[in-house]
Amino acid sequence: MEQALEELAGKEQVKAIQARKRDAARQRLDACLEVALARLDSKLLLSPKQHARLLGLLREVAEKYGPDIDEQFRGWGDRQPWFLQSYYLLIPCSGVAEQDLKEVLSEWQLAKWNELATAHGGHYWGQILEYHEQRMQMEKQGAKRWRPVFEP
């Protein structure tokens, strides 16, 4: 369908469609991250400033590692995607750099963050990093990218 649309639509229409797809992907990503932050906020009592900064940090992780997180759970078939399961929702938290967290969170918040990130799928992060390295090597060689859930 996408190929037919590109052949039938004009260049401006294709650009508009691609822009809408990017916007929709960004909205899906933000919604997922907001749900994760809501869960964290219930435990960490985040200020609005902390919430905004953490959203940005989580977005960076999700944009960089999204395809790799998706690859970790690709074999699930008809099961709900990882970001719709409460246990796995916090997986992107494991990818936020400790130094960044220290700049945003208090000491007790950081301890709770680490506890939650580890308890909710953080042990998958090593494999996700391996998938990331593999994907980067594939892209260097010109191979087609893995398509993440949040990408149009």
Q: What is the pLDDT of residues 101-124, one digit of tens each?
A: 999 999 999 999 988 887 777 788
Residue ranges per structural domain of the chain: 2-140
The encoded tokens of residue 39 equal: 């869960």
The encoded tokens of residue 129 equal: 């990093």
Q: What is the pLDDT of residue 152?
A: 45
Over residues 120-132, the pLDDT tens digits come to 777 889 899 999 9
Arithmetic mean of pLDDT over the chain: 85
77 pLDDT above the threshold of 50: yes
Residue 13: pLDDT band by 50, 70, 90 thresholds? Answer: confident
Per the listing, tokens 């395809």 go with 67
Out of 29-33, 44-48, 65-69, the most confident range is 44-48
